[in-house]
Amino acid sequence: MRWSALAALGESEPGAKTAAVGELHRRYRAGEAICRADEIIAAPDSLPGRPAKPELVEPRRLKHRGMQTEEGRAVLLHAIAHIEFNAINLALDAVWRFPGMPEAFYADWLQVAFEEAHHFGLLQARLHEFGHAYGDYPAHDGLWDMCARTCDDVLARMALVPRTLEARGLDASPPIRARLMQAGDAQSAAILDVILRDEIGHVRIGNRWFRYLCDARALEPHETYARLAEQYRAPRLRGPFNFDARREAGFDEDELAALAAHAPDTDTQPDTGKSHES
């Protein structure tokens, strides 16, 4: 299963990559793909596989357009599609790269890759309805950059990809959804609903394995996260924060209180005490 995840990661054409993820997910669930958790796999020369377009540029070179036009919404959806395409790669990389974890770790990240591929498909289909496709606009490579930085330590990967970079998506989704609804684009907003629902689960998986590894290494989670964020130059988190989604994704009250210190708007402050109940 881990070799197949690496092969899917190496696929450059988006349709081939998502098809490979779907087939591996099916085979693993059917018991046809075996997870050899202890096997050490040498890293290939070039990862990940990706198409010639979009052109990758510095974030400051990306243009921002209003969402009152179809063109503006297409630019936004393309940016989100690029994030989801990278998220497929991030999940596949976790499956093949880190030996010696419990089999549930690999099953979790394969499931994440499968759901990210579904998100990418939804966004690609919506882009087609606007007359566009993935690759039509420039994009940046920040997500994979952090993946590359944390390739030497599964603990750093869990700390700084799912529970840092992906958790930022929990904060960003509600305001973007609101702007899409204001523009009358309920179809695109509905895709963000699906993504937010699933991303809560993905961040929860990252939190679970981060704490598992902290326990295994006798490390205090809060201090360890702060140390890793500094060591690997994680981006500084800025509010507003989606405290309900973060709580559902497994962040504890101390972590939420620390975030609240960076979010002076009282409407973004976390509840204290009881956990959120659905």
Residue 116 domain flag: yes
Tokens of 263: 């979010």
CATH number of the domain to which 9 belongs: 1.20.1260
Q: What is the pLDDT of residue 133?
A: 96
Q: Is residue 91 part of a domain?
A: yes
Q: How confident is the model at residue 151, as a pLDDT? A: 95
d(C-alpha 245, C-alpha 172), whole Å:
11
C-alpha distances in angstroms, 115 versus 84, 107, 129, 276?
Answer: 9, 12, 22, 24
Whether 87 is covered by a domain: the verdict is yes
Q: What pTM did the predictor assign? A: 0.92
Report if residue 52 sits inside a domain.
Answer: no
pLDDT at residue 263 in the model = 62
Answer yes or no: is 54 within a domain. no
Count the domains in the chain: 1
Residue 41 CA to residue 209 CA, distance in Å, equals 21
Structure-block tokens of residue 271: 């509840």
| 163 domain-assigned | yes
What HEC string does the chain produce? CHHHHHHHHHCCCHHHHHHHHHHHHHHHHCCCCCCCCCCCCCCCCCCCCCCCCCCECCHHHCCCCCCCCHHHHHHHHHHHHHHHHHHHHHHHHHHHHCCCCCHHHHHHHHHHHHHHHHHHHHHHHHHHHCCCCCCCCCECCHHHHHHHHCCCCHHHHHHHHHHHHHHHHHHHHHHHHHHHHHCCCHHHHHHHHHHHHHHHHHHHHHHHHHHHHHHHCCCCHHHHHHHHHHHCCCCCCCCCCCHHHHHHCCCCHHHHHHHHCCCCCHHHCCCCCCCCCC
Token pair 């990389």 in the structure block, residue:
93
At 12, phi and psi to the nearest 5?
A: -95, -30
Within 13 Å and on the Cβ side, how many CA atoms surround 10?
Answer: 12
* Token output for 82: 């690029």
Residue-range definition of the domain harbouring residue 155? 2-36+63-263
Record the tokens describing residue 221, joined without a space: 């989670």
Identify the pLDDT of residue 131: 96
d(CA 107, CA 111): 6
The answer to the question of residue 67 being in a domain is yes
Q: Say how many C-beta atoms besides its own lie within 10 A of residue 216's C-beta.
A: 10
Give the other-Cβ count within 10 Å of 203's Cβ.
27
Tens-of-pLDDT digits for all 278 residues of the chain?
999 999 999 999 999 999 999 999 999 999 999 999 999 999 898 899 999 999 988 877 777 778 889 999 999 999 999 999 999 999 999 999 999 999 999 999 999 999 999 999 999 999 999 999 999 999 987 788 899 999 999 999 999 999 999 999 999 999 999 999 999 999 999 999 999 999 999 999 999 999 999 999 999 999 999 999 999 999 888 889 999 999 999 999 999 999 988 765 534 433 323 333 32
Within-domain flag for 145 = yes
